[in-house]
Amino acid sequence: MAAPMRNVDEIRDRVILGEFGVRNVHSTDFPGNYPGYDDTWDLRKFKKNFRLNIAHMDENTLEFDMVGIDAAIANAFRRILLAEVPTMAIEKVFIYNNTSIIQDEILAHRLGLVPIKADPRLFEYRNAGDEEGTEIDTIQLQLKIKCTRNTRAAKDSSDPKELYLNHMVYSKDITWVPIGNQADVFGDSKIGPVHDDILLAQLRPGQELDIVMHCVKGIGEQVAKVVNSRLDTCSREVLRHDDLKNLVKIGRVRDHFIFSVESTGILPPEVLVSEAINVLIAKCQKFLTELESSEME
């Protein structure tokens, strides 16, 4: 392909994939490391070299390329996408009646994992120590279902679908109970689980569930269920063939990243990416203001 790269350029720009390990992983382009190269941070140079290209976008997945940015920052975006974009999830489960075979805590755990379709940007964080929750930080959901025998089933039928009514509890049975002025604010958007077909529990006649849930805004660090996305890798298959091994040198361009973002359905993936970048900006601003205020003293 291209003529062999000068050694220095190769160390600066490529991560080498050897047969047994990866070499040249860390960025070394800091000022003073290479004579003849000016590596000082320059926003104009960054803007000139930076490119973003959207490869594929649909309602649940987004694939895009970022070129010209360092691994440290790209990784920061990835970590934020996975764990620090705020989402609404069920946090407190008030079980008034549970006569099903599923234990209370197992059922509560399963409910906590159900993604709830509500835009987290329209809600505030709940204040620490606040048990009740107000209309700006809490969504109240209810699950009230009772299993009964189907009197019209055939005498010798053994199919549970025929014999019992409401014997499978799906996430579509979770209903929204608006509190305060939520009915006016969110009247037309359907707040509830993203997917209707998540099986939560199975019941038999006489068993019932009467549960109230509070759904609050949280980030993945505190609430391990609000994970939103996943990522991508590369293959070293060619190195397994002995005759090709010595002829091929595989390297990856150091500053080219492919992001593949898959959303749980609460927010579209492009909104997730924008929110993640905003989270990083907010972190920096937080420390900047902290520096300012501590210098005033």
Partner 1 sequence: MAAADTEKKRVLEMVQAAGADEGCVTFVLHEEDHTLGNSLRYMVMKNPDVEFCGYSITHPSESKINFRIQTRGGLPATETLRKGLNDLTDASKHVLHTFEELRNRDQVTGMWSTLQSETLTDKNHRLRAAAWILSIQN
Residue ranges binding partner 1 (CB under 8 A): 27, 30-32, 39-41, 43, 46-47, 50, 52-58, 64, 66, 69-70, 72-73, 75-77, 79-80, 84, 270, 273-274, 277-278, 280-281, 283-288, 290-291, 294-295, 297
Q: How far is the CB of 295 from partner 1 (least distance, A)?
A: 7
Q: Closest Cα to residue 119, out of 275, 224, 285, 230? A: 275
| Nearer of residues 25 and 185 to partner 1, judged by Cβ | 25
| 3-class DSSP assignment, residue 175 | strand
CA distances from 108 to 92, 112, 213, 214, 217 (A): 8, 6, 9, 11, 17
For residue 208, the cross-strand partners are 146
Q: How far is the CB of 270 from partner 1 (least distance, A)?
A: 5
| Nearer of residues 73 and 113 to partner 1, judged by Cβ | 73
CA distances from 17 to 23, 152, 248, 253 (A): 6, 67, 10, 11
| Nearer of residues 25 and 73 to partner 1, judged by Cβ | 73
| Nearer of residues 181 and 278 to partner 1, judged by Cβ | 278
23 φ/ψ sector (left φ>0, alpha ψ -120 to 50, else beta): beta
| Nearer of residues 20 and 287 to partner 1, judged by Cβ | 287
Q: How far is the CB of 60 from partner 1 (least distance, A)?
A: 12
Q: How far is the CB of 82 from partner 1 (least distance, A)?
A: 10
CA distances from 214 to 91, 95, 181, 222, 247 (A): 6, 11, 16, 16, 61
Q: Closest Cα to residue 30, out of 46, 41, 15? A: 41
Q: How far is the CB of 42 from partner 1 (least distance, A)?
A: 9
> Could you identify the residue written with the tokens 């002025």?
181
Q: How far is the CB of 64 from partner 1 (least distance, A)?
A: 8
| Nearer of residues 86 and 192 to partner 1, judged by Cβ | 86
Helix (H) or strand (E) holding 278: helix 269-296
